[in-house]
């Protein structure tokens, strides 16, 4: 059997484990043993290739201690995983070495070859995660877009949370960016060089998280971040064990305590359900609860977000630059976004994909599909956008007549005029209705043109306008 890994085991008492090399060889791991700490660096330099270094810390009577070797190896070969193997059962020391870059920390007492093999496998996987991250990065854009009041308050909390190692709870409706902000907290935090693992809470099992014979995700993501999504679906037994681990800062596996060096982030759209089902876990994570605002409260950010998603889509698809027309922007501003950021991104991506030229029009956004989701008030608000040109408003009214249909269009016109009167006063005293140059008379004439097309509605649009003006 070809060996999976080559390991250098540096311990002045390695002969206390006479069966270890042969048992590990049966598991596909070739072990070289070294008793002198000072020989570690020369042996790594001389080869053969070492995949993992197992390093003791105590070398009585020798001029070099294990800690000195650890520091030099980490400095010269930062990609080489180093697993500390020691008789010192100290969670504080374990935490210190893991923070300094150790890939693992195991206790000698009662140590079995299977546990050593598990620690080696874990160290190799962590190293590969880091190398892939360094080479390719994440499919992740860390830019936070928006200056609205609601988002600015959240941004302050997010930046504070990024400097903390405490568990964090991200709440919000579907599409508000819970997973995105979880990745952002990992990316800019102190654990950014560690692994990032995302798991649906309903898929989490006790053995999968805490491990059994081999490490679970809480150890595999050590020095990194584990995001548990839809945390309200965690099993009750799981919540109690997570709360205990977070309280103590330690994991129990195979009869031994191991420092919990993973930051846990929880996301939920059902806060009350999570609070009721999670019990004590909720109170452990609630100090860092961050409620993400819906897009409806971030209207001032819509233009900037649309541009952001457009640039992102262009980069991912290697497209030339596009620009959003004022009509397309107005349509995006007026939409209700039950899907929040996710829905806005979908609309922008689809519009960019459908655009036939450099300019993205309202037709590219998909007025036929989007308009139906507008309330009458939202439709009127969009038509009253003061940044529209006269011709744009006339074109939009054409579209509105087609899309609203015979039954709804009269109500739209009435709402349009009522909203305008509420904003600006009596209609006869005004020269313009919206934009630059659309007067009341022009609107009346435009509406009358629809009478033939919508004659079955049996509605007097002139009478409707007059009624709205008199109210």
Please report the pLDDT score of residue 305 as a whole number. Answer: 92
d(CA 379, CA 193): 48
DSSP string, 241-257: HHHHHHHHTEEEETTEE
pLDDT surpassing 50 at residue 469: no
Q: Is the four-CA dihedral 292, 332, 419, 413 of positive or negative sign?
A: negative
Lookup: tokens for 289: 């609860």
Nearest to 433 by CA among 376, 375, 386: 386
Nearest to 168 by CA among 281, 294, 260, 286: 286
Count CB neighbours of 42 within 10 A: 10
pLDDT digits (tens, 9 = 90+) for 415-461: 666 665 565 554 433 333 333 344 545 555 554 554 444 343 333 43
Mean pLDDT of the residues in the chain: 76
By three-state DSSP, how is residue 158 classified? Answer: helix
| Segment 53-63 mean pLDDT | 88
Please report the pLDDT score of residue 453 as a whole number. Answer: 40
pLDDT digits (tens, 9 = 90+) for 76-101: 888 888 999 888 767 778 878 887 88
Contacts of 357 (CB under 8 A, 6+ apart): none
- What single-letter DSSP state applies at residue 292? P
| Segment 66-73 mean pLDDT | 91
Higher pLDDT, 113 or 297: 297
Please report the pLDDT score of residue 415 as a whole number. Answer: 64
Please report the pLDDT score of residue 182 as a whole number. Answer: 92
Higher pLDDT, 302 or 20: 302
Lookup: tokens for 392: 């744009």
d(CA 9, CA 144): 46
DSSP string, 360-385: EPHHHHTHHHHGGGS-HHHHHHHHT-
d(CA 450, CA 443): 11
Phi, psi of 8 (to 5 degrees): -105, 120
d(CA 215, CA 221): 10
Please report the pLDDT score of residue 33 as a whole number. Answer: 87
pLDDT over 90 percentage in the chain = 16
pLDDT digits (tens, 9 = 90+) for 357-393: 899 987 788 654 444 445 556 556 555 554 444 444 4
Phi, psi of 432 (to 5 degrees): -130, 145
DSSP string, 6-26: EEEEE-TTGGG-TTHHHHHHH
Q: Which residues pair with 169 in a beta bridge?
A: 266, 289
Please report the pLDDT score of residue 466 as a whole number. Answer: 43
d(CA 459, CA 412): 13
pLDDT surpassing 80 at residue 268: yes
pLDDT over 70 percentage in the chain = 72
Please report the pLDDT score of residue 278 as a whole number. Answer: 92
Please report the pLDDT score of residue 51 as a whole number. Answer: 86
Q: Is the peptide bond before 289 cis (omega within 30 degrees of 0)?
A: no
Report the range of poorest mean pLDDT among 166-170, 244-248, 322-326, 438-442: 438-442
pLDDT band at 172 (very low <50, low <70, confident <90, very high): very high
pLDDT band at 259 (very low <50, low <70, confident <90, very high): confident
331 contacts 370 by C-beta, under 8 angstroms: yes
Q: Is the four-CA dihedral 240, 246, 249, 253 of positive or negative sign?
A: positive
pLDDT surpassing 80 at residue 62: yes
Please report the pLDDT score of residue 117 as a whole number. Answer: 82
Nearest to 94 by CA among 302, 249, 254, 270: 249
φ/ψ region of 6 (left if φ > 0, alpha if ψ in -120 to 50, else beta) reads beta
d(CA 409, CA 446): 13
Report the range of poorest mean pLDDT among 8-12, 166-170, 174-178, 452-456: 452-456
| Segment 398-419 mean pLDDT | 56
Does the pTM exceed 0.75?
no
Q: Which residues pair with 107 in a beta bridge?
A: 86
Please report the pLDDT score of residue 61 as a whole number. Answer: 86
229 contacts 267 by C-beta, under 8 angstroms: yes
Burial class (CB in 10 A: 0-12, 13-18, 19+), 456: exposed
| Segment 143-162 mean pLDDT | 84
Nearest to 348 by CA among 379, 378, 314: 314
Phi, psi of 225 (to 5 degrees): -135, 140
| CA torsion, ordered 42, 45, 48, 50, to nearest 10 deg | 90
pLDDT digits (tens, 9 = 90+) for 281-321: 999 999 999 999 999 889 888 988 999 999 888 888 888 88
């Amino acid at each position: 059997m070809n060996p999976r890994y080559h390991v250098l085991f540096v311990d002045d008492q390695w002969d206390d484990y006479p069966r270890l090399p042969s048992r590990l060889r049966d598991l596909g791991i070739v072990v070289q043993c070294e008793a002198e700490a000072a020989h570690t660096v020369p042996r790594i330099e001389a080869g053969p290739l070492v995949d993992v270094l197992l390093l003791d810390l105590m070398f009585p009577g020798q001029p070099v201690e294990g800690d000195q070797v650890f520091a030099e190896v980490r400095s010269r070969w930062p990609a080489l995983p180093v697993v500390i193997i020691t008789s010192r059962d100290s969670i504080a020391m374990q935490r210190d070495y893991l923070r300094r870059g150790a890939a693992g920390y195991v206790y000698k007492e009662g140590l079995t070859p299977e546990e050593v093999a598990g620690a080696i496998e874990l160290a190799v996987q962590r190293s590969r995660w880091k190398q892939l991250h360094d080479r390719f990065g994440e499919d992740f854009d860390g830019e936070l877009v928006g200056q609205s009041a609601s988002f600015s308050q959240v941004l302050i909390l997010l930046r504070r949370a990024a400097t903390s190692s405490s568990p964090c709870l991200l709440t919000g409706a579907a599409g508000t960016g819970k997973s995105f902000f979880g990745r952002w907290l990992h990316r800019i935090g102190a654990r950014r060089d560690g692994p990032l693992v995302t798991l649906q809470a309903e898929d989490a099992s006790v053995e999968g998280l805490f491990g059994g014979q081999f490490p679970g995700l809480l150890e595999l993501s050590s020095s990194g971040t584990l995001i548990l999504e839809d945390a309200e679906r965690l099993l009750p037994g799981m919540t109690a064990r997570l709360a205990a681990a977070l309280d103590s800062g330690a994991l129990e596996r195979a009869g031994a305590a191991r420092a919990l060096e993973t930051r846990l982030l929880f996301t939920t759209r059902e806060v009350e359900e999570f609070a009721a089902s999670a019990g004590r876990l909720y109170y452990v994570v609630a100090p860092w609860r961050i409620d993400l605002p819906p897009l409806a409260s971030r209207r001032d950010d819509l233009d900037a977000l649309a541009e952001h998603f457009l640039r992102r889509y262009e980069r991912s698809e290697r497209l030339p630059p596009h620009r959003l027309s004022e009509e397309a922007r107005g349509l995006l501003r007026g939409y209700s976004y039950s899907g929040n950021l996710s829905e806005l991104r979908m609309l922008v991506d689809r519009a960019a994909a459908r655009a036939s030229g450099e300019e993205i029009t309202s037709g590219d956004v998909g007025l036929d599909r989007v308009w139906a989701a507008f309330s009458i008030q939202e439709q009127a608000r969009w038509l009253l956008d003061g940044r529209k040109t006269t011709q744009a408003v006339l074109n939009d009214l054409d579209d509105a007549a087609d899309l609203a249909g015979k039954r709804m269009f009269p109500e739209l016109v009435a709402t349009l005029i009522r909203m305008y009167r509420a904003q600006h006063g009596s209609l006869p005293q005004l020269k313009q209705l919206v934009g630059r140059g659309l007067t009341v008379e022009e609107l009346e004439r435009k509406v009358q043109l629809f009478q033939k097309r919508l004659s079955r509605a049996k509605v007097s649009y002139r009478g409707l306008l007059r009624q709205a003006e008199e109210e």
